[in-house]
Chain A
Amino acid sequence: MTKNKNALVFCAAVAAGIAPGVVHAQALEDGSTAWLLTSTALVLFMTLPGLALFYGGLVRSRNVLSVLMQCFAICCVVSVLWFAFGYSLAFTDGGNAGMLGGLSKAWLAGVELDSVSGAIPETVFVMFQMTFAIITPALIVGGFAERMRFAAMLAFSVLWLLVVYLPVTHWVWGGGWLASIGFRDFAGGAVVHVNAGVAALVAALVLGNRTGFPATPMPPHSLPMTVMGASMLWVGWFGFNAGSALTAGGAAGMAMLVTHLAAASGSLAWTTMEWLKFGKPSVLGIVTGMVAGLGTITPAAGFVGPFGGFVIGLVAGVVCFWATQLIKRRLQIDDSLDVFPVHGVGGFTGLLLTAVFSSTALDGLGLGEATMLGQLGVQLIGAVATLVWCGVASYVILKLVNVALPLRVTREQENEGLDLVLHGERGYST
C-alpha cells in the first residue's frame, strides 16, 4: 500500500474538491522539492527546444525560423504574464464560484522564500505551473504554422492565455468548479491538450488553409529535426506527468511508468495502422503515435495502473491516426501540424478513459466514492466544457485581433516564407 500512498492522498484531495496546488497541510519535503525542480526543467525543455524542433522540422525550410521564434517568444511572454497576474488568476480563490482566481497574488505578492505549497516551496510550484502555461499556447502554433503574422500571433497568445488558459486551469487545478465536482485531469488532458487542440483547429479554420493546400506538396523539411524534438518531448513528459504528482513518492513513479508505456504502445499502434493502410511504417508515423500516446495518458497518469497506460496508448495510436486522416484528408482542414487530431482528440479520449481505467478492476488506483459511469459523466462535462469555452473564446479572440492586426501574411509573403519576410533571416544558407 505504501506504493500508492501518495496517489491515494492525491485522489482523496481531488475527491474532496481540493486541487493539489492549494493543499497546505503537508510539510515541506526535500525529496519532493528536488523532483519538482527537476520536473520544471524537464517541462520547459519540452517547449525549448523539444516542441520547437518537432514543429520546426515539420514545416517547409523557408518557415523553420518562424516556428522556432514563435515557440521562443511565447515562452518569454507567458513567463512575464505568469509573474504579473497569470499565477494569481489560476491558483488563488477569486470568490466567484470557481470560475476564475483573484488578483491577491498578482506580481507574485506573498510568494516568499519560505512560502510552501503542498510538499514543495511555492516558488517551485509557481515555476512548475508556469512551464505548463508556456507549452500550451506553443502547441497551438502547429495549427496556424507557415501563415500567421508574428504580431497577431503574439496578441492572440496573450489574450488566449488570459481568457482560456487561466480560467480552465483554475477550474481544474485551482480549486475551481471542475475540481469541486471531482473532475480528474492529472497533468492537463483538458487544461493543456484539449485546450491547445481546439484552439489550433479554430485558428486553422479562421485563418484558412495554407496557399496551395492540399494540392501542393508541403512535406516536412527536416524529419531528423522532428525526431530529435519528439524524443525530447518523450523525456520531458516525465516531468510533465510524473511531476504533476507534486511529490516524489510512489504516485510520481507510477505516473512515470504509465506515461512511458503509453508512449511506447501509442507509437506501435500508429505504426501498425500506417503499415496496414499505406504499406510502409514511417518515421513521422512512429513519433506522431508517441505524441498521441503521451497526450492521451496525460489526464490519466496519476489514476491508472500499467495495464491502463498500455491500453490507453494503444487506443490513442488508433483513434488519433483516424482523426488525422479525417481532419486533414477528408475534411481538408489545414490544421497544419495536426494539433487537433493528436492533442485535442487524444486529450479528450484520455479524459474519458481516465474514468474507465481508474477502476481497480482494470488495474487502476481506484475511483474513490464515484462509480465508473458517474465518473465518466463528470469527465465528459469537464472535457466538453473545456472544448466549448476554448472553441468559442478562441474564435472571438482571433476575430478581435484581426480587426487591429491582420492575422495572415499576404499571399506573396507566404510564398516567400515567413523567415525572410517577418524576421529578416534565413534558416539555411542557399
Chain B
Amino acid sequence: MKLITAVIKPFRLDDVRNALAEVGVQGMTVTEVKGFGRQRGHTELYRGAEYVVDFLPKVKIEVAVVDDMVERAIEAIIDSAKTGKVGDGKIFVTDLGQVYRIRTGETGDEAI
C-alpha cells in the first residue's frame, strides 16, 4: 500500500479528480495549501509598495492505493495536472504502514 501525495495547481483539481476516478481510485483527501518551488512567488503592488508573495496557493491531494494501482494513479495525476509550465507541482509516494476502515474495522487492502 502506498500513500500518494500530489501538490497541484488549484485549477487542475477537477481534471485530476476525474482522471483518478477513471483508473479506479475510490476516495481522496483534498487540502488547500500554500507553498513554493522553482516557480517561486509573485509580486503585488499597492500604491507603489511592492510585496513579494513567496507562498502560492496550491491544492494537496492525498490518495491511498493498493500496490498494483500506484503506477496507474501516478500516470493519471501527471496526465491531468500537467500544463507544461513551472509550478505544475510534485507527487510524493510513501509506504503506508497500515490502513483501517473505521466503520467495519477492516484493515490493509480491504480498507482502501
A interface list, Cβ under 8 A from B? 214, 217, 219-220, 274, 277-278, 280, 282, 284-285, 288, 324-325, 328-329, 338
A217 touching B53, Cβ below 8 Å: yes
Chain B at the A interface: SS class: strand
B47 touching A324, Cβ below 8 Å: yes
Chain B residues with Cβ under 8 A from A277's Cβ? 48
Minimum CB–CB distance from B103 to chain A (whole Å) comes to: 32
Q: Is B46 part of the contact surface with A, judged by Cβ < 8 Å?
A: yes
Minimum CB–CB distance from B112 to chain A (whole Å) comes to: 34
Q: Is B86 part of the contact surface with A, judged by Cβ < 8 Å?
A: no
Q: Is B102 part of the contact surface with A, judged by Cβ < 8 Å?
A: no
Chain A residues with Cβ under 8 A from B47's Cβ? 284-285, 288, 324, 328, 338
Chain B residues with Cβ under 8 A from A329's Cβ? 48-49
**Count the B residues whose beta carbon is within 8 Å of the partner chain — how many?**
9
Chain B residues with Cβ under 8 A from A288's Cβ? 47
Q: A284-B46, A285-B47, A338-B47 are in contact. List 20 more A-B contacts (CB 8 A).
A: A214-B49, A217-B44, A217-B52, A217-B53, A219-B44, A219-B46, A219-B51, A220-B46, A274-B48, A277-B48, A278-B45, A278-B48, A280-B45, A282-B45, A282-B46, A288-B47, A324-B47, A324-B48, A328-B48, A329-B48
Chain A residues with Cβ under 8 A from B51's Cβ? 217, 219
Bound together, the chains give a CA A129 to CA B46 distance in angstroms of 34
Bound together, the chains give a CA A329 to CA B48 distance in angstroms of 8
Bound together, the chains give a CA A371 to CA B44 distance in angstroms of 48
6 A-B residue pairings within 8 Å (CB atoms): A217-B44, A219-B51, A278-B45, A280-B45, A328-B49, A329-B49
Bound together, the chains give a CA A282 to CA B46 distance in angstroms of 8
Interface string of B30-60 (1 = CB under 8 A from A): 0000000000000011111101110000000
Minimum CB–CB distance from B49 to chain A (whole Å) comes to: 6
Q: Which residue of B lies closest to A279 (CB)?
A: B45
Q: Which residue of B lies closest to A328 (CB)?
A: B49
Bound together, the chains give a CA A50 to CA B47 distance in angstroms of 20
Chain B residues with Cβ under 8 A from A280's Cβ? 45
Bound together, the chains give a CA A186 to CA B47 distance in angstroms of 29
Chain A residues with Cβ under 8 A from B46's Cβ? 219-220, 282, 284
Q: Which residue of B lies closest to A288 (CB)?
A: B47
Bound together, the chains give a CA A38 to CA B46 distance in angstroms of 35
Chain B residues with Cβ under 8 A from A338's Cβ? 47
Chain A residues with Cβ under 8 A from B48's Cβ? 274, 277-278, 324-325, 328-329
Nearest first, the 3 A-B pairs at minimum CB distance are: A217-B51, A325-B48, A278-B45
Bound together, the chains give a CA A325 to CA B52 distance in angstroms of 18
Chain A residues with Cβ under 8 A from B52's Cβ? 217
Chain B residues with Cβ under 8 A from A214's Cβ? 49
Bound together, the chains give a CA A324 to CA B45 distance in angstroms of 13
Q: Which residue of B lies closest to A324 (CB)?
A: B47
Chain A residues with Cβ under 8 A from B53's Cβ? 217
**Residue from A217, A278, A284, A285 with most neighbouring chain B CB atoms (10 Å):** A217
Chain B residues with Cβ under 8 A from A219's Cβ? 44, 46, 51
Chain A residues with Cβ under 8 A from B44's Cβ? 217, 219
Chain B residues with Cβ under 8 A from A325's Cβ? 48
Bound together, the chains give a CA A324 to CA B46 distance in angstroms of 11
Bound together, the chains give a CA A217 to CA B44 distance in angstroms of 10
Q: Which residue of A lies closest to B54 (CB)?
A: A217
Minimum CB–CB distance from A362 to chain B (whole Å) comes to: 31
Q: Which residue of B lies closest to A213 (CB)?
A: B49
Bound together, the chains give a CA A325 to CA B46 distance in angstroms of 11
Minimum CB–CB distance from B31 to chain A (whole Å) comes to: 17
Bound together, the chains give a CA A214 to CA B48 distance in angstroms of 12
Q: Which residue of B lies closest to A322 (CB)?
A: B48
Minimum CB–CB distance from B97 to chain A (whole Å) comes to: 33
Bound together, the chains give a CA A338 to CA B48 distance in angstroms of 11
Chain B residues with Cβ under 8 A from A324's Cβ? 47-48
Minimum CB–CB distance from A269 to chain B (whole Å) comes to: 14
Minimum CB–CB distance from A281 to chain B (whole Å) comes to: 11
